[in-house]
Amino acid sequence: EVQLLESGGTLVQPGGSLRLSCAASGFTFRSYAMSWVRQAPGKGLEWVSTIARGDRTYYADSVRGRFTISRDNSETTLYLQMNSLRADDTAVYYCARDIKVNCAGDCPPDYWGQGTLVTISS
């Protein structure tokens, strides 16, 4: 059974840093592109970042230069390092797995975690 379990969400002051983790199990982690998608309270879905085939990384304009996506295939864990956090980064952050193996970043996610809440406030 595919499982994705996010952790690391908490309350952080503006300008601070945080690292989110997503522990994956039930599939060959290294074969799949993985993404982070966030949802601000009461708002819609917003794509954040994807790490795809060959560890190519892609970022939304709103987070490029502040966030870094990475993965540890030996630990089957996806990460999101978030720096210079702002109030508008407040959201539930979901990690998600692509529907197909070895995608170049353009395959939709079919498995999602339950999310972890990041709150940026002083």
CA-based nearest residue to 48, from 40, 56, 59: 59
Residue 85: CB minimum distance to other proteins, A? 21
Residue 48: CB minimum distance to other proteins, A? 9
Residue 79: CB minimum distance to other proteins, A? 19
Name residues contacting other proteins, limited to 70-109 (CB under 8 A). 94, 99, 105-106, 108-109
Q: Site map for other proteins, 20-59, x if CB under 8 A?
A: ---------------x-x------xxxx--x-------x-
Applying CB under 8 A, which of residues 12, 78, 89, 113 lies at the interface with other proteins?
113
Q: DSSP string of the chain?
A: --EEEEE---EE-TT--EEEEEEEESS-GGGS-EEEEEE-TTS-EEEEEEE-GGG-EEE-TTTBTTEEEEEETTTTEEEEEE-S--GGG-EEEEEEEESSTT--S-SPEEEE---EEEEE--
Catalog residues that contact other proteins under the rule CB under 8 A. 35, 37, 44-47, 50, 58, 60-61, 94, 99, 105-106, 108-110, 112-115
